[in-house]
Amino acid sequence: MAVEGPARGSASTAGIIVIGDEILKGHTQDTNSFFMCRRLRALGVKVARISVVPDEVEAIASEVAAFAARFTFVLTSGGIGPTHDDVTFEAVAKAFEENVVPHPELVALVHKFFGRTEAQCPEMKLARVPESARLNYGTDGRGSAFDYPLVSVRNVYIFPGIPALMERALDGLAHLFRSERTRFHSRAVYVAADELLIVPVLDRAHAAFQGRVSLGSYPDWASNYYRVKLTLDSESEQDLEEAYGFLMRQLPPGVAVPLVTDYVSRAAAEVYSLAESGLDLPGHLGVPAQALCSLLHSL
Domain span at residue 88?
A: 13-176
Angle, nearest 10°, between helix axes 195-209 and 237-250?
140
Number of domains in the chain: 2
- Residues 185-203 have a mean pLDDT of 97
Q: Any alpha helices (H) in the chain, and if so which ranges?
A: 21-24, 32-42, 57-70, 88-95, 104-114, 163-172, 195-209, 237-250, 263-276, 289-298
Question: Alpha-carbon distance 247 to 189, whole Å?
Answer: 9
Helix, strand, coil in percent for the chain, rounding step 5: 40, 20, 40
**Sign of the dihedral defined by the CA atoms of residues 237, 242, 243, 247, in that order:** positive
Q: Which of 176, 210, 229 is the last residue of a domain?
A: 176
Q: List beta partners, residue 139.
A: 145
Average pLDDT, the chain: 89
Distance CA 288, CA 220 (A): 38
Residue 141 has pLDDT above 70, yes or no: yes
In percent, how much of the chain has pLDDT > 70? 84
Q: Residue 233's closest CA among 206, 194, 259, 254?
A: 206
Does residue 189 belong to any structural domain of this protein? yes
CATH number of residue 31's parent domain: 3.40.980.10
Q: Summarize pLDDT for 217-268 with one digit per residue, the tens.
A: 999 999 888 999 999 999 999 999 999 999 999 999 999 999 877 666 666 6
Helix (H, G, I), strand (E, B) or coil at 222: coil
In a shared domain, residues 22 and 153: yes
262 part of a folded domain: no
CA distance 65 to 84: 22
Same domain, 129 and 247: no
Residue 75 near residue 14, CB atoms below 8 Å? yes
148 with 25, same domain: the answer is yes
CATH code (residue 191): 3.30.70.2860
Antiparallel, parallel or unpaired: β 73-77 and 128-130 = unpaired
Residue type (1 letter), 283: G
On whether both 23 and 168 belong to a single domain, the answer is yes
Give the residue among 214, 197, 213, 211 at the shortest CA–CA distance from 250: 197
Asked if residue 274 lies in contact with residue 280, where contact means CB atoms within 8 angstroms, the answer is no
Is residue 117 a contact partner of residue 96, using CB atoms and an 8 Å limit?
no
Q: 267-284: per-residue pLDDT in tens?
A: 666 666 666 666 555 544
3-state secondary structure of 41: helix
Contact (CB, 8 A) for 281 and 292: yes
14, β-bridge pairs: 47, 73
Last residue of a domain, which of 122, 142, 176? 176
In angstroms, the Cα distances linking 47 to 14, 126, 149, 180, 276 are 5, 28, 24, 16, 51
| Cα 197 to Cα 195: distance, rounded to the nearest angstrom | 5
- The kind and range of the H/E element at 256 are strand 256-257
Residue that finishes a domain, picked among 222, 237, 257: 257
Residue 199 has pLDDT above 50, yes or no: yes
Ranking 121-130, 138-147, 225-234 by mean pLDDT, the lowest is 138-147
Give 49-105 pLDDT, tens digit per residue.
999 999 999 999 999 999 999 999 999 999 999 999 999 999 999 999 999 999 999
Confidence class for position 6, pLDDT limits 50, 70, 90: very low
Q: What is the H or E stretch that residue 191 is in?
A: strand 185-191
Same domain, yes or no: 105 and 233? no
pLDDT over 90, % of the chain: 76
pLDDT on residue 94: 98
Q: What is the gyration radius of the CA atoms in the chain, in angstroms?
A: 26
